[in-house]
Amino acid sequence: MKPLYLALLLFIHGHLHGHDHLENTLAKLKDHEQLSIVYNTIGCFHHARYKLVVTRIDKNWEAEIYESQDDLLGYSGHFYYMFDDGYLFLKRKVLTPGDLKTFRQFETELRKIDQSFSFCTTMDHYEVKSNYYNARVRDGNCNWNGFWSLKKSWFVNLQRPPNFAECLF
Q: What is the mean pLDDT of the chain?
A: 79
Choose among 28, 96, 78, 66: nearest CA to 167.
Answer: 66
Domains of the chain, by residue range, sit at: 23-168
For a pLDDT cut of 90, what percent of the chain falls above it? 47
pLDDT at 46 (0 to 100): 81
For 21-74, write each residue's pLDDT tens digit: 567 899 999 999 999 999 999 988 888 899 999 999 999 999 999 988 765 555
Task: Return the number of other C-beta atoms located less than 10 Å from residue 63's C-beta.
Answer: 21
pLDDT at 83 (0 to 100): 55
Q: What is the mean pLDDT of residues 108-122?
A: 82
pLDDT at 14 over 70: no
Q: Where are the beta strands (DSSP E) in 8-111?
A: 34-42, 47-57, 60-68, 87-94
> E strand or H helix at 74, and its extent?
helix 69-76
- Under a CB-based contact definition with an 8 Å cutoff, are residues 95 and 61 in contact? yes
pLDDT at 87 over 70: yes
What pTM value is reported for the model?
A: 0.75
DSSP-derived letter for residue 96 is P
